[in-house]
Amino acid sequence: MSKSVNIDWNNLAFSYIKTEFRYVSRWKDGKWDDGSLIEDNKLSISEASTALHYGQQCFEGLKAYRTKEEKIQLFRPDQNAKRMNDSCKRVLMPEIPEEKFIDACIQVVKANEAYIPPHGTGATLYLRPFMIGVGDNLGVKPAPEFIFCVFCVPVGPYFKGGMTPVNFTIADYDRASPWGTGASKVGGNYAGSLLAHEEAVKKGFADCIYLDPATHTKIEEVGAANFFGITKNDKFITPKSPSILPSITKYSLMHIAKEYLEMEVEEIDVPVENLDEFKEAGACGTAAVITPIGGIDYKDNLHVFYSETEVGPVTKKLYNTLYGIQFGDVKAPEGWIVEVK
Ligand SMILES: *Cc1c(COP(=O)(O)O)cnc(C)c1O
């Protein structure tokens, strides 16, 4: 159990703070060791590690939430475990058993209990599981050894002072290739997106939206969040493509739209020329939950959805339901919540 901490819970950003404990497990000679919690936040690895040269690594992101009743809960960690293993398979890293992944997350949350923000602040404890290829290796091939680690950081709500829509621009670059690693949560996708993000911000946009890399005619996703739109007849639409990172938040919102809000839901092509079919749009992911999209700049035209300053009613309902489930105020579907005891 961690010591008490001195943190201003109401002014947390999404930035690194060293917490007390992290989980580390090593893979060698075909198997994972038992893993343990350590206090040191530095990893000592070979200069020839594949993670450093050939990008052999992947990561995950999920949160621990404190409920009104002071229970601590994780949101769908089994989905993060499954997705991490899909990423591992794609870049030839050993899979991590689902129970080991969830147990590591639980150990880290419990050990850093003092860092879990109070209920009502909107802040959460963000968990960052990741795996890297390590060991002495020079040629392009899978590493001889691997490290799986989970650390945690208390983070603030994405929206200080309420949800506000932001504007995006269409990227001049691709984040993924048609049959590349777009659907895997690997760092290389992000290295390639830094320049596109920086250029979007310089032009005054919050971030950029990527089009499909094969034809550049269909919306794929935002840099670190998936896209959804609400049609004029209240359908929830989200793009379908093999190069989109399958967002757990997105699939959760599809379920919420269908089962809680009785909306029709479709995962289909979203041509960038047809943006006026949507009366609302948003970006969704673990960090942001939902970012309402005010407008999208395409070919020097800003297409505005609901409003550049106000959040549309359907987006608001989706957000409140998801947020309520995550913080324990709305009944969750079977299996979505794992209590940390
Ligand atoms: C992690 C990530 C998302 C969001 O996924 P969630 O599971 O909802 O957090 C979306 N796009 C990319 C590229 C990502 O890496």
User: Rounded mean pLDDT of 273-277?
Assistant: 95
- Candidates 294, 290, 312; CA nearest to 303 is 294
CA gap 88, 93 in Å, rounded: 5
Average pLDDT over residues 60-67: 98
* pLDDT for residue 160: 67
Please identify, by atom number, the ligand 1 atom nearest to the C-alpha of residue 252.
8
- Output the pLDDT for position 3: 67
CATH number at residue 236: 3.20.10.10
> Residue whose CA is closest, atom 12 of ligand 1?
224
The mean pLDDT value of the chain amounts to: 96
Protein residue with its CA nearest to atom 10 in ligand 1: 225
pLDDT at 2 over 80: no
Provide residues with CB under 6 Å of ligand 1.
Answer: 61, 185, 221, 224-226, 245, 247-250, 285-286
Instruction: Give the domain range for residue 36.
Output: 9-155
- What pLDDT is recorded for position 312? 97
What is the DSSP annotation of 227-290? EEEEETT-EEEEE--TTS---HHHHHHHHHHHHTS--EEEEE--BGGGGGGEEEEEEEETTTEE
CA of 269 to the centre of ligand 1 (A): 19
Number of domains in the chain: 2
For residue 73, what pLDDT is reported?
Answer: 98
**Do residues 263 and 211 both lie within one domain?**
yes
287-310 pLDDT per residue, tens: 989 999 999 999 999 999 999 999
Helices (H) and strands (E) in the chain, counts: 7, 18
pLDDT at 1 over 80: no
pLDDT at 317 over 70: yes
Q: Are residues 18 and 83 in the same domain?
A: yes
Give rounded-to-5 percent helix, strand, coil for the chain. 25, 30, 45
- Please check whether residues 78 and 119 belong to one and the same domain: yes
Q: Assess whether 171 and 319 both reside in one domain.
A: yes
Residue 4, pLDDT score:
78
Atom 5 (ligand 1): residue with closest C-alpha?
Answer: 247
Domain shared by 171 and 320, yes or no: yes
Residue 161 belongs to a domain: no
What is the helix (H) or strand (E) element at residue 58, kind and residue range?
strand 57-59
- Please tell me the distance between residue 107's alpha carbon and the centre of ligand 1 in angstroms: 23
113: left (phi over 0), alpha (psi -120 to 50) or beta: alpha
Residue 160 in domain: no
pLDDT at 161: 62
Active site residue 250: no
Position 157 scores a pLDDT of: 80
Does a structural domain hold residue 2? no
**The tokens of 48 are what?**
């020839």
Ligand 1 pocket test target in 286, 318, 323 with most atoms within 8 Å of CB: 286
Q: Are residues 57 and 108 in the same domain?
A: yes
Which atom of ligand 1 approaches the CA of 185 most closely? 15
SS3 of residue 194 by DSSP: helix
For ligand 1, atom 14, name the residue with the nearest CA. 224
> Within a domain: residue 175?
yes
Q: Find the 1 Cα to ligand 1 centroid distance in Å.
A: 30
Q: How far is Cα 281 from Cα 33, in angstroms, rounded to an integer?
A: 45
Average pLDDT over residues 111-128: 96
Domain shared by 224 and 311, yes or no:
yes
Q: pLDDT tens digit string along 202-229?
A: 999 999 999 999 999 999 999 899 999 9
Q: Tell me if 61 sits within 8 A of 150, measured CB to CB.
A: no
Closest atom of ligand 1 relative to the 189 alpha carbon = 13
For ligand 1, atom 1, the nearest C-alpha belongs to: 224
- Ligand 1 atom with the smallest distance to the CA of 79 is 7
Ligand 1 centre distance from Cα of residue 82 (Å): 14
Q: Are residues 81 and 208 in the same domain?
A: no
Domain boundary, last residue among 122, 155, 188: 155
From the list 63, 185, 218, 250, the catalytic residue is 185
Q: How far is the CA of 117 from the centre of ligand 1 (A)?
A: 23
**CA 321 – CA 252 distance, rounded (Å):** 10
Q: What is the mean pLDDT of residues 29-49?
A: 98
78-82: average pLDDT: 98
288 C-alpha to center of ligand 1: Å?
Answer: 10
Residues 320 and 202 in one domain: yes
